[in-house]
Amino acid sequence: MSLPAHNSFTYTSSAARVIFGAGSLQHLVRETDLLGARRALVLCTPGQRAEAERVAALIGERCAGIFDQAVMHVPIETARHAREVARELGADCAIAIGGGSTMGLGKAIALESELPILAIPTTYAGSEMTPIYGITEAGLKKTGRDARVLPRTVIYDPELSAGLPLKLSVTSGINAMAHAAEGLYAPDANPIMSLLAEEGLRALAEGLPQLVARSADLAARSQCLYGAWLCGTVLGNVGMSLHHKLCHTLGGSYNLPHAETHTVILPHALAYNAPAAPEAMQRIARALGTDDAAQGVHALAARLQAPLSLRELGMPHEELDRCTDIALQNAYANPRPLERTALRALLENAWQGRAPE
């Protein structure tokens, strides 16, 4: 794709050291030492305790302890508890192994203490590549950007995602695709991030069907993790729009599951924005090997047997009006102006599980 004459942009690269490949967890000691860490606190969810213990065993005396209480959306109480534990143990580094919830906990610690984070992601959410943090207090999730929370080192080892259940692998992969799709029409888009976005979409559109065919296939897992890395980088570098706003509203106000909500909303958000972002849609469609971005994402999700409706995620139908109102609060950039009637229709289609209009 050639650069149009009127194109001007600012590009700031943010540095994270990435170690990628099957078995790359073997480099953990080297990477911990490169960060100068002598007392690392290992973070995980209760469900990933065994993986955290494996990490602790690998780094041996460099491990100060394990904190296994990460939960989705980082409740402030959990963040405070983890910060206290990190202080008491004299931790000089946080090693986060798991999905976006565990990365988020590491970020909440780093936000106050500036501890370096070494991230070992096992889902495709992409938080490890972003300076975005989120903390939930009194039922309200606040997000922000701060360079201190960007992990310094990321170990992408596809072997560690082998146990990620197939359904979650699919929806988590589409969560990643959403970052790239919105990155292509971001107000601060730039050619480098657009290249990564298109390649990330292509990698996941190829990798996810391979995973569904053979869920333990390491090549397919590598392909998806590679795509997730690129899509997460896009999320970390350019602004998101309507799709992410709707998902945060649905997740934050109605407690809908994160990756599944992204999966249901993405085709509809793309259909809404399509008339105002033709070049982005063309690039998304090309990456998916289809003619139409919105229909292509919907067809992919259907083929992967992912959820297609808000109804099946438990969204109460009578809340769609209020949800539309919340999504219209606080102006944010979007290629197509936000129109109440059209947004309400978008949510109705998504609730019913219809193909995008």
Ligand X SMILES: NC(=O)C1=CN([C@@H]2O[C@H](COP(=O)(O)OP(=O)(O)OC[C@H]3O[C@@H](n4cnc5c(N)ncnc54)[C@H](OP(=O)(O)O)[C@@H]3O)[C@@H](O)[C@H]2O)C=CC1
Ligand Y SMILES: O=C(O)/C=C\C(=O)CC(=O)O
Please, which of residues 233-262 interact with ligand Y by CB under 6 A?
Answer: 244, 247
- From the list ligand Y, ligand X, none, which binds 244 (C-beta under 5 to 8 Å, kind-based)? ligand Y
Rg (CA), the chain: 20
DSSP three-state, residue 240: coil
174 and 266 Cβ atoms separated by less than 8 Å: yes
| CA-wise closest residue to 236 among 198, 205, 197 | 197
Element containing residue 181 per DSSP (H, E):
helix 166-184
Nearest distance from C-beta of residue 161 to ligand X, angstroms: 5
Closest CB 64 distance from ligand Y, rounded Å? 26
224 binds, among ligand X, ligand Y, none (CB under 5 to 8 A by kind): none
Say if CB 130 and CB 239 are below 8 A apart: no
Binding string, residues 172-211; x marks residues near ligand Y by CB under 6 A: ---x------------------------------------
How many residues make contact with ligand X (CB under 6 A)?
29
**Positions 111 through 140 that interact with ligand X (CB under 6 A):** 122-123, 125-127, 130, 132-134
Q: Look-up: residue for tokens 């063309």?
A: 282
**Buried b or exposed e, range 175-207, using 16+ CB within 10 angstroms:** bbbbbbbbbbbbeebbeebbebbbbbbbbbbbb
Q: How many CA atoms lie within 13 A of 189 on its CB side?
A: 25
Q: Interface with ligand X includes 100 (CB under 6 A)?
A: yes
If contact means CB under 5 to 8 A according to the sort of partner, which of ligand X, ligand Y, none does residue 247 touch?
Answer: ligand Y
User: Among ligand X, ligand Y, none, what does residue 163 contact (CB within 5–8 Å per kind)?
Assistant: ligand X
Asked if residue 250 binds ligand X (CB under 6 A), the reply is no
Binding test (CB under 6 A) with ligand Y, winner from 75, 99, 121, 134: 134
Amino acid at 196: L
H-helix or E-strand spanning residue 202:
helix 191-213
In terms of DSSP bridges, do strands 132-137 and 140-145 run parallel, antiparallel, or are they unpaired?
antiparallel
Among 59, 132, 231, 304, which residue interacts with ligand Y (rule: CB under 6 A)?
A: 132
**Site residues (vs ligand X, CB under 6 A):** 45, 47-48, 72-73, 98-102, 104, 122-123, 125-127, 130, 132-134, 160-161, 163-164, 168, 172, 235, 258-259
**Site residues (vs ligand Y, CB under 6 A):** 104, 125, 132, 134, 143, 175, 244, 247
